Amino acid sequence: MDRVLHKLRLGLRGRVPPVVKESYLKLRELNATSRAVPDFLIVGAMKAGTTSLFNYLCQHPRIIGSVPKEIFYLCSHPERGERWYRRHFPRRAALTQSHALCGEATPTSLYSGQAARIASELMPNAKIIVLLREPAARAVSHYYHRYRAGRETRAVDEVFTTSMIERLAADAPEGDTEKAICDRGQYVRGLKHWKARFGESQILVLDADIFFQQTQAVYNQVCEFLNIPALTLATSESFNANTGLKQKPEHFRELQRCFDPQNRELAEMGYHFSWMGEG
């Protein structure tokens, strides 16, 4: 049933009516104690390919994804309780029968120390997957995500002004848009949350820019991390992309330079990403 639901969700491009989704999930909550907790979590980052990776994994016969993809329990709604959380996952018997794993992908979890703590208590053996994107490009994509959703009406150059970028560089954001841009680009802080709770062998950090260019190769890497056989993807279509919204702001290079200190800190932590250049 979970696989059928995933195919239906893809066919509807994720646009399942909320009342239908909630009614179905309430029924699943009746047998929540028989349901699993995740074997893996895709915790972020926002606008870094998490939807695509989750959907690719759900094509695998050994993976059953959560319903829906993003649950927001760990980072935002732990008060709803473990029973509420478990309703989003398949029954343990179904996983055992198909030798499958289950997982979810809430990309705001990366930034939450609470999420890392609760996850380590509820599923201490889970695998943690993190996709990180060049932070200035991620910020611009986040802007377009808000624009497409109607939460932002200003043109891209009205948001990424020199004064706004100066405030970013000074770590003094103001307003909802700036806060979202700053918070969701704080990879170091997020990684430290999860590294404090899970062992190195349980965390896979991926370069989203390489994922976008070499999708099959990165997918294979994730399959190896999850100890499942890698299969040829039926489709490498991007999901939840800002189609047709590509214009960079005039001051994009200045925006990139705001993240230079964080890039240096990532390098000190042992990470090297394609956007950092050599050395």
Question: Average pLDDT of 43-67?
Answer: 95
What pLDDT, on a 0 to 100 scale, did the predictor assign at position 12?
58
- Give residue for tokens 């979890």: 109
Which amino acid is located at 111 in the chain?
Y
Q: How far apart are CA 133 and CA 277, in angstroms?
A: 14
Higher pLDDT pick, 243 / 75:
75
- pLDDT tens-digit profile of 85-106? 999 999 999 999 999 999 999 9
List the CATH number of the domain containing 171.
3.40.50.300
CA 53 to chain centre: 9
- Total domains in the chain come to 1
Question: In sequence order, which ranges of the chain are alpha helices (DSSP H)?
Answer: 2-11, 18-29, 50-58, 81-86, 92-98, 113-122, 135-148, 156-159, 162-169, 175-184, 187-195, 208-213, 215-225, 252-258, 260-268
- Per-residue DSSP letters for 207-262? EHHHHHHSHHHHHHHHHHHTTS-----S----SS--TT--PPPTTHHHHHHHTHHH
Taking the whole predicted model, whether its pTM rises above 0.75 is answered as yes
User: Which residues lie closer than 8 Å to 22 by C-beta, 6 or more apart?
Assistant: none
Q: Predicted confidence band at 21 (pLDDT cuts at 50, 70, 90)?
A: confident
Cα gap 234→32, rounded to integer Å: 32
> Quick one: residue 56, left, alpha or beta (phi over 0 = left, psi -120 to 50 = alpha)?
alpha
- Structural domain containing residue 233: 2-276
| 198 three-class SS | coil
